[in-house]
Chain A
Amino acid sequence: MMPYVWAFIVGGGICVFGQICFDVFKLTPAHTMSLLVVLGAFLDAVGLYDPLVDFAGAGATVPITSFGNSLVHGALTELQQDGWIGVITGIFSITSAGISSAIVFSFLAALVVRPKG
């Protein structure tokens, strides 16, 4: 049961950070999301995001910060394997599942669904 509790608390906490960016700092959603992604990338660069994933599970992998984390992970993994070219070739290697599925499902939805309101 505890993994669910920690996922709830950590994931909710990241969302509260986003809400504070909305309400207190008056950032637009696009600015807030960009900030969170860069923050996730930075945390992974200094080696702090992996411990967070081990601790909070989906609480760390579901928020958009995990997207920045995966981009850095892909770049660094292929940098290690293939040398400098890996920085370019590896960036999307892990995030492909998220981006590809979002593109495909959104496209199919646009074919089928009529806009509301």
Chain B
Amino acid sequence: MAVKSAGSGSKGYKPVSMSAKEYKAFAQTKEPSRSVWTNCLRAFLVGGLICAIGQGIQKFFMAAFDMTSKQAGNPTVAVLILLAVILTSMGVYDKIAQCAGAGSAVPVTGFANSMSSAAIEHRSEGLVLGVGANMFKLAGSVIVYGVVAAFIVGVVYWLFGIGAWHDTTG
């Protein structure tokens, strides 16, 4: 008896529930329509600015420590990551990200932001299960696919010894 009434009860609600497809179409009509052009312009300006700052840091390392541009690459990335983590800690990076979209997500600073914000957010769940386990929640996919892609490239080069070996020094 109880089963039957529960069944009829759920039947009463049926018009409200939607299939995943219907919901997607419905949600699309309710999405705020932000112009793709505006978003792209913001992404271009912010992303370009971050890269220009990176260029400045790289120039500084080249001048101060007498490095080549390739040697200066790693410390430049490390400094940008440090800056991104500091800005994330102060809650500034997320404000930039709301406006800039991909402009703040695509540079390496966005990678650092995703790691540090996940670490800070899950701090309350503990140092190991919270910070340790969640740090790579978003950044992990980047590392997994990057490593798999690099592995495939490496195996292809190893098997076929592709002749046009480009310069991998430095």
Contact = CB atoms under 8 A, between A and B. Distances in A.
Interface string A90-106: 11101001110111011
B138 interface: yes
Contact of B164 (A15, A47, A63): A47
A109 B144 CA distance: 24
Interface in A72-93: 72-77, 79-80, 84, 86-88, 90-92
A7 to B, nearest CB: 4
Contacts of A109: 85-86, 88-89, 116, 119-120
Contacts of B167: 50
A75 B108 contact: no
B105 A29 contact: yes
B63 interface: no
Nearest to A18: B102
Interface residues of A, number: 81
Given A3-B55, A45-B156, A75-B150, A23 B36 contact: yes
Nearest to B164: A47
Nearest to B48: A12
Contacts of A33: 105-106, 110-111, 141-142
Contacts, number: 274
Contacts of A32: 102, 105-106
B50 A67 contact: no
Interface string B127-157: 1000100010011011111110111011111
Given A67-B111, A76-B168, A4 B145 contact: no
Given A62-B50, A97-B74, A112 B158 contact: no
Contacts of A94: 74
Nearest to B165: A80
B82 interface: yes
Interface of B: 34, 36, 39-40, 42-52, 54-59, 69, 73-78, 80-82, 85-86, 88-89, 91, 101-103, 105-112, 114-116, 118-124, 127, 131, 135, 138-139, 141-147, 149-151, 153-158, 164-169
6 contacts: A15-B106, A58-B58, A62-B76, A63-B47, A103-B115, A113-B120
